């Protein structure tokens, strides 16, 4: 997908609301993201990105010398868990049209989502001050019978945080995604490798059933 700087993002209106065709083009490990409420335990997040073939937009080429028409994109992040209460699992169950088998739950490769087609439901949400409108992913479902499967037009991206060593970013990763990763515990730890890893506090453990808490089951 075209790369853009966080302070130079084009001010396009949000993608249209409603149900429409979508193709998954990105699966990005965001690392363990801090909670807005420090009382609750941080969770490892994954960012999924879809392109919308029926909503095109003109973007500048990498060298800035030309404009290219490409599908618009939309992203949503989920706690990286396939636990029974996890929003990621609920979304994937509906998108696949069937529940996971025990064998699939034992090891499911999220990169399989790249190129997968579906019907995405987008809702518009106003900011607290009412001045901005955001497009949020509400749900995913299978294509209706007879609908053609489409291949991605944007470049696809699968990104896993390394388990050790310095953390680098691929050239095509948007800067706003890089900035999300730079907030993660893993990235901060990579800059200070001799600093002990921070685990959940007693208060966080006591609030494990708080908001935005999915059952912690690794992939």
Both tokens assigned to 30 = 């965001």
Q: Is the pLDDT of residue 205 over 70?
A: no
Q: Which residues pair with 32 in a beta bridge?
A: 44
Q: What is the pTM of this model?
A: 0.82
- Domain definitions of the chain by residue range: 15-143+152-193
Q: Is the pLDDT of residue 169 over 60?
A: yes
Chain centre distance of CA 65: 30
- How many CB atoms are closer than 10 A to CB 136? 13
Percent of the chain, pLDDT > 70? 83
Sequence length of the chain is: 219
| Residue 217 or residue 65, greater confidence | 65
In Å, how far from its chain's centre is CA 186? Answer: 17
- H helices of the chain, in order, are 87-96, 102-106, 175-182, 185-191, 202-206
Q: What is d(CA 44, CA 74) in angstroms, rounded to the nearest whole number? A: 20
Average pLDDT over residues 193-214: 47
């Amino acid at each position: 997908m075209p790369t853009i700087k966080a302070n130079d993002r084009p001010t396009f209106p949000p993608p249209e609301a409603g149900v429409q065709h979508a193709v998954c083009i990105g699966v990005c490990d965001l690392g363990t993201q801090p909670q807005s409420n420090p009382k609750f335990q941080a969770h490892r997040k994954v960012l999924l990105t879809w392109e919308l073939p029926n909503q095109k937009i003109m973007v500048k080429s990498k060298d800035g010398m030309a404009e290219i028409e490409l599908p618009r994109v939309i992203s949503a992040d989920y706690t990286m868990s396939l636990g029974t209460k996890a929003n990621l699992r609920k979304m994937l169950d509906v998108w696949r049209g069937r529940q996971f088998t025990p064998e699939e739950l034992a090891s499911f490769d999220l990169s399989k989502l790249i190129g997968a087609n579906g019907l995405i439901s987008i809702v518009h949400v106003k900011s607290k001050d009412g001045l901005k409108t955001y497009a949020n992913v509400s749900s995913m479902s299978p294509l209706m019978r007879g609908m053609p499967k489409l291949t991605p037009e944007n470049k696809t991206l699968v990104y896993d945080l390394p388990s050790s060593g310095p953390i680098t970013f691929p050239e095509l990763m948007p800067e706003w995604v890089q900035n999300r990763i730079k907030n993660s515990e893993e990235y901060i730890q990579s800059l200070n490798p001799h600093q002990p890893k921070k685990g959940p506090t007693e208060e966080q453990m006591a609030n494990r059933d708080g908001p935005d808490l999915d059952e912690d089951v690794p992939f």
